[in-house]
Structure 1
Amino acid sequence: MSKKVLIVTGDAVEALEVFYPYYRCLEEEIDVQIAAPKVKKLNTVIHDFEDWDTYTEKRGYGIEAQVSFNEVNPSNYDALIIPGGRAPEHIRMHQPLLDIVSHFFIEEKPIAIMCHGSLVLTPIAEVVKGRKMTAYHACKPEVESMGVHYVDEADYVDGNLISGHAWPDLPAIMRAFIKQVNQLTVKP
């Protein structure tokens, strides 16, 4: 039986932060599903670091969400990925998502969070209070407001929590995530 990874996101997810982990899991023969507020083709965005003080945004490829947050039983998954982009701003308003994410923290399953994905945690700060993580530098105030120690490193591992600044950190984030997933014992 294959290991199962859940990616939670929505419209305006950063394209590289959803596609790279999705295909990386498939490459490892890990069963991976994308969950969103509803089953649909999601609109992705491309954030780039050009000559601005912040990132720019362009429209990206579409990607299918196979399951809605309401349909997810988090006990059926071994690990979780929360990509960034602007999606975290609105998906964190869905209580079923917050229940899903809380499950992974409570059960200490591997969790990879990239960039603005840290915003998903703000309504459930109690599950991350006292932890250490990194995120896109503009998310530092939200991370610290949850009682989390913000680590100013490109990627950081705190037990089962793997976090990164942005899409350029994906190789290190996914290397640490895949290592943790591959060390799991699959339940029959």
Structure 2
Amino acid sequence: MSKKVLIVTGDAVEALEVFYPYYRCIEENIQCTIASPVKKKLQTVVHDFLPEMETVTEKWGYKIESHASVDEIDPADFDGLIIPGGRAPEYIRLNPWC
């Protein structure tokens, strides 16, 4: 029986933190569902340092499609949960519908 993992995220998720676990799950034959507040194509971001700046910068990354909105998800259907970083967790935490 295949395991099922839920990734809960939203816009401004750190690109590496959503793409890497998503594709690693697929490589291991783990069913992986990406859920966001609204089912849509999510904009990822990449945080990086520039030599002339003393703080981190944020640039747009590739987009990734969410498979479902969070209100369509039954947590009991999943064996694991991944919450990637970036600004998405704060966005989700501050929205009452999540």
Which structure 2 residue ranges, 5 or more long, are not aligned? none
CA distance in 1 between counterparts of 2:96 and 2:4 reads 22
| Structure-2 residue corresponding to 1:33 | 33
| Structure-2 residue corresponding to 1:68 | 69
- Equivalent runs, 1:39-188 vs 2, <5 Å: 39-51=39-51, 52-95=53-96, 97=98
Residue identity over aligned pairs, in percent, reads: 65
1:49 Cα deviation (Å)?
A: 3.3
Name the SS of the counterpart of 2:47 in structure 1. strand
Q: TM-score, normalised by structure 2?
A: 0.91
Cα RMSD (Å): 1.4
Moved over 6 A (4+): none
Name the SS of the counterpart of 2:55 in structure 1. coil
Letter of the 1:66 counterpart: H
Q: TM-score, normalised by structure 1?
A: 0.49
In our comparison, the structure showing a higher alpha carbon Rg is 1
CA distance in 1 between counterparts of 2:8 and 2:50 reads 28
1:96 Cα deviation (Å)?
A: 5.3
Name the SS of the counterpart of 1:61 in structure 2. strand
CA distance in 2 between counterparts of 1:5 and 1:95 reads 23
Letter of the 1:7 counterpart: I
| Structure-1 residue corresponding to 2:9 | 9
CA distance in 2 between counterparts of 1:21 and 1:70 reads 22
Query: Residues 39 and 70 of structure 1: is their aligned pair in 2 closer, same or farther, counting only changes over 3 Å?
Result: same
1:88 Cα deviation (Å)?
A: 1.4
CA distance in 2 between counterparts of 1:59 and 1:69 reads 24
Higher RCO, 1 vs 2 (CA within 8 Å, ≥6 residues apart)? 2
1:95 Cα deviation (Å)?
A: 4.3
* CA shift digits 1:115-148 (9 cap, x unpaired): xxxxxxxxxxxxxxxxxxxxxxxxxxxxxxxxxx
